[in-house]
Structure 1
Amino acid sequence: MSAPASSAPRLRLRVSKAAELHIRDGHPWVYESSVREQNREGEPGELAVVYDRRDRFLAIGLYDPFSPLRLRVLHTGMPTQLDDTWWAARLDAALARRAALFGPLTAFGDTDGYRVLNGESDGFPGLVVDRYAGVLVMKLYTAAWFPHLRRMLELFAARAPDFAVVLRLSRNIAERAADLGLHDGQVIYGELAGDSVVFRESGLRFEAEVRQGQKTGFFLDQRENRRRVEGLSEGRRVLNAFSFSGGFSLYAARGGASEVTSLDISAHALRSAERNFALNPELTAVHKTVQADVFEWLPRGEAEYDLVILDPPSLARREAEREGAIRAYGKLAEGGLTRLAPGGILVSASCSAHVSAEEFEEAVMSAVRRSGRRWRKLLSSRHAPDHHASFAEAEYLKAVFLEMD
C-alpha cells in the first residue's frame, strides 16, 4: 500500500468522452467504467493525471484501485504542483468559509460543533472533518487518503495544536486500514479522555460520541432545521420521531414547548437524549421518551401533538431502494398526520441522496392530500452552509414544514 518509487512514471489516465465533459463541468468523480486507458497499475492515494483526447492536461486527483470511484478529482484547468503550499491554501480557504459562520477554528463560542471540511464540496474528495469543541473527527471514505493522512494531521496541528484528532473510517476501507495499524475510533493526534466530548450548538450543550457513534458522533447537518423548530415550538406539544440523541427535542424545549416526546427504536439513543437534557438544566419543558418502531407506533397511538418532526435515517442507501424509500416517506407522513392536532405543524425530513427533493416532497404532499386536511407550506429547506453541496450527488438533505388545519 506504499506509493510507487519516485522513478515510476506519472500515472496517466484517459477517460470516456462523457467523463471528460463531466470533469470539465466540475464533477469530482471518475468511475472505473469511465477509464479507457492507463499507463500502469496505480496505488491507493497516488496522484493520477487525466489527459483529454488531444493529450492536454484535464485534471489531477487521488487514485483508488479498490473503489468503483477510481479517481477523486482535486484540481482541473491548468497544470499545477500539488505541494505543501497548495494543500495549505486549500485548507485555509475552507477554514475561512467556516470562520465567517462560526469564528476561527480555535474559537469556543455559542457553536463549536460544525463541519470543517465537507469532502468534495470543499475540495477534499472522500474526506470529512467535523469539529466538536476541542476535538476534530476525521472520517475517510477512501483508502486514497491513507498516504496523505500525515500531511493532513500536520496541517491541522499547525492551526489547532491543542486539539485532539479522532479517525473514523467507512466500513469498506477498515480492512486496509488495519494493515497500516489504523482503526475506527483511533485517537491519532493529541489526547482524548473517554469516548465522547461535550460541545455547544447555538448555546445548547450536546454530547458527541466521537469514537463509536454514528457518522462522526452527532448529526450536525440538521442544525438550521433545529433552529427553525425552536422558533415554532412555543406552547406546543412536540413529538420528535427518530429522535436519536434528542437534537430537535432540546431546541423545541428551549423554544417554549409545553412538553416534548423523544421517540426512537434505540434505547441507547434515548439515554443519550436524556443525558443531553441533563447537560442543559435550564430547559424546563417536560421531556418524555418512548422506545418503539416509529412506523408501527405512529398509526396505533391516540395522543395528539401540535408539532410532529419526522427525521428518519437514510431510507435508500442505494439506487435499488429508491422506490421503496419514496413509499416509506409517504407512509411516515401519513402516520405523522394522524397524530397532528388541528393547527399543528408537520416537519418531514430526508437524508436519502437517492431520493430527490422533488420526489420526497411529492411523497409527503400526496399523504397530505389524501388526509383531506387544508394545509399551508411554511418552507422547504436544503443543506446548512457548512454542509454545502457543489454537485448533484452531494445533495442529500431536504425538509418541508407544513401547517395543517
Structure 2
Amino acid sequence: MSDPRPQARLRLQLYPRAESAVRKGHPWVFGDSIRSQNREGEAGEMAVMYDRKDRFMALGFYDPDSPIRVRIVHCGKPATIDRAWWLSRALAAKGRRDEVFNEATNGARCINGESDGFPGLVADRYADTLVVKVYTAAWLQRWDEIESILREVFAPKFLVLRMNRHLLETSEFEEGFRGPEGAEVVVFLENGIRFESAVRHGQKTGFFLDQRDNRARVEKLAKGREVLNVFSFSGGFSLYAARGGAKSVADLDISAHALESAVQNFKLNAEDARIAAVPHETLQADAFKWMDESERKFDLIIVDPPSLAKRARDQAGALSAYRHLNARAISMLRPGGILVAASCSAHVPAAEFLGMIRELAEQSGRRREELWTTGHASDHQASFPEAEYLKAICVKFD
C-alpha cells in the first residue's frame, strides 16, 4: 500500500559563496553549490532554500538532471507563489516593453527568462502569434496556469509552445499550437520592414529578434555603400541596409534555406521602392572559406556569426575564429569602409571581444574611428552576467 502522507517540502542549504550570490540576485544555483538537502528532489518542484542560521532565503524550481540545479523564483522574505504572483510579473514584463511595440513593430521579445522573473522561459511575439519556449520541466507542470496568464496579458490570437531538446526527449508534452492552429510561418513588422518567422520549426522562436536595434544602426550607415552581410541568415541586416540606400547588398550563408528566406523577405518588401531598387545577391558558401578566397571589396561588412562558444572551454577557439573572420573583413574594406562585428557567444566576454576587434583595427595600420559599441536591446534586457551574450562594435577605416 502506498504512503498517503504528502512529501515534506524540499529544503536546501547552500555553501556560503552560493548563498551570497543568491542574496545578491543571481538566479542560478548549481549542483555543487548545495551543501545539504532533506530528500531527493523531483524535476520542476519548488525548493525552499535556508541560510546557515536556518532562516528563509529563497524559492526556486528544482531540476535534478541539470547542472543548474535550482532556478531562483524569489529571494527575500517568504512569499506565496500563485497565479497572482505570476500575473504581476507578466504585467511588469509587458510594461517594460511599451515603447518597443508600435504601428511599425509588432515583433519583439515579451518575456526574457530570468531577467524578467520567469526562469527558463522566453516568449516572443510575431504579429498575432506568441511563441513560448521553455527550458525547464517546471513550466510544463504549471502550464495551464501560465498559459492562461500569457493569454490574459499579451492577448495573442495564436500561441505556440516550444521546448528545448532535453524536454522534447523526456516530456510527454508535445510542441505546437495550443488552441487554434495558426500559420507555421508568420509575417511580422520590425521598424516597418516585413519579415517571416518560422514560429513552429525555425531556430530559437523563429527569428533572431535581438539584433533589431543594430539592424537599425546599419540602415543609417548604408547609403551609397556596397554591403556584405556575413552569416546573413534571413537577410535582416541586408534589408535595413537596402532601405538605407545601399548601392548593393550581398548575403553570405552556407544554408540554402536561410538564403531562400532572405529572398522571400526581400519579396515581402517589394512595395518599398527604396528596398526594391537595390540589387540583392545571395552567396551560398562556407563564410570562412569564401572570405579567405574572395578578392572582392566592399564598403560595409557585417560579421554576425552564430554562437561560436557553446561552452566555457570553447572560448579560446571562438576568439580565434572571430579574429580570423574580422581580420579578413577589414582587409576587404575599401577606403572609408565600415566594419560591424557582433558576437552572440555568452562565453566570450564583451571586454575580450571588443578588445580583440580594437587590436585588429590597430594592426591593420589604417586610420580608424570607432563609431559605437552596443549590448542588449531593451526587450532583451540582461539582469545577470551569464545572460549578457550580445555585443557589437562598429569601426570606420580610412
TM > 0.5: yes
Show structure 2 runs of 5+ residues with no match: none
Which residue of structure 1 aligns with residue 181 of structure 2? 191
Instruction: Return the alpha-carbon distance in structure 1 between the equivalents of residues 121 and 357 of structure 2.
Output: 33
Q: Deviations over 1:221-250 (max 9, x none)?
A: 000000000000011111101000000000
Cα separation, 2, equivalents of 1:21 and 1:160: 35
Name the CA distance, whole Å, in 2 between partners of 1:304 and 1:233: 15
**1:241 corresponds to which residue?**
230
**1:380 pairs with 2:373:** yes
| Correspondence 1:181 to 2:173 | yes
CA distance in 1, matches of 2:259, 2:304: 15
In structure 1, runs of 5+ residues without a counterpart are 104-108
Summarize deviations over 1:43-92 as a string: whole Å, max 9, x none. Answer: 22211110001010100011111111111001111101111111111111
Give the match for residue 304 of structure 2: 311
Q: Which residue of 1 aligns with 2:278?
A: 285
Report the secondary structure of 2:382's partner residue.
coil
1:120 is the counterpart of 2:114: yes
Tell whether 2:196 aligns with 1:207: yes
Separation in structure 2 between the aligned mates of residue 51 and residue 249 of structure 1, nearest angstrom: 52
From 208, 212, 236, the equivalent of 1:223 is 212
Amino acid at match of 2:78: P
- Indicate if the aligned counterparts of 1:143 and 1:176 stay in contact, CA closer than 8 A: no
Query: Do 2:186 and 2:196's aligned partners in 1 also have CA atoms closer than 8 Å?
Result: yes
Give the 5 Å matches for 1:3-402. Answer: 7-102=6-101, 109-177=103-171, 180-183=172-175, 186-193=176-183, 195-281=184-270, 282=272, 283=275, 284-402=277-395
Q: Distance in 2 between matches of 1:241 and 1:43?
A: 44
Cα distance between partner residues in 2 of 1:207 and 1:255: 20
How big is each residue's C-alpha offset from its partner over 1:242-299, in whole Å with a ceiling of 9 and x where there is no partner? 0000000000000000100011011100000000000001212111110111111113
Conserved 8 A contact 1:119-1:128: yes
TM-score by length of 2: 0.96
Which residue type is aligned with residue 177 of structure 2? V
How far is the alpha carbon of 1:158 from its aligned partner?
Answer: 2.1
Contact 1:353–1:396 (CA under 8 A) maintained in structure 2: yes
Distance verdict in 2 for CA 1:223–1:295, change over 3 Å: same
Considering only aligned residues, what root-mean-square deviation do their CA atoms show, in Å? 1.4
Which whole-Å CA distance do the structure 2 matches of 1:6 and 1:338 have between them?
Answer: 71
**In the aligned structure 2, how far is the partner of 1:176 from the partner of 1:289?**
39
- How far, CA to CA, are the matches of 1:100 and 1:240 in structure 2? 28
Percent identity for Structure 1 against Structure 2: 53
SS of equivalent to 1:115? strand
Deviation at 1:166, TM superposition (A): 1.1
CA contact (8 A) 1:330 1:366 kept: no
CA distance in 2, matches of 1:322, 1:162: 39
The alignment partner of 1:257 has SS state of coil
Deviations 1:282-341 (CA, angstroms, capped at 9, x unpaired): 212111110111111113212211100000000000011100111111111111012111
In 2 relative to 1, CA 299–84 (structure 1 residues): closer, same or farther, beyond 3 Å?
same
Q: Compute the displacement of 1:175 (Å).
A: 1.3
Partners of 1:129 and 1:60 in 2: how far apart?
Answer: 22
- Alpha carbons 2:140, 2:173 under 8 Å: kept: no
Secondary structure of the equivalent of 1:367? helix
Q: Cα distance 1:399–1:265, how it changes in 2: closer, same or farther (>3 A)?
A: same
Is the contact made by 1:237 and 1:257 (CA closer than 8 Å) also made in structure 2? yes
Aligned residues: 392
Q: Which amino acid aligns with 1:57?
A: F
Runs of 4+ aligned residues of structure 1 deviating over 4 Å after TM superposition are none
Which amino acid is 2:173 matched to? G
SS at structure 2 position matched to 1:198: strand
- For the 8 Å contact 2:100–2:108, the answer to whether it is kept is no
1:397, 1:162 → 2: CA distance?
Answer: 28
Q: How many angstroms apart in 2 are the aligned matches of 1:47 and 1:190?
A: 31
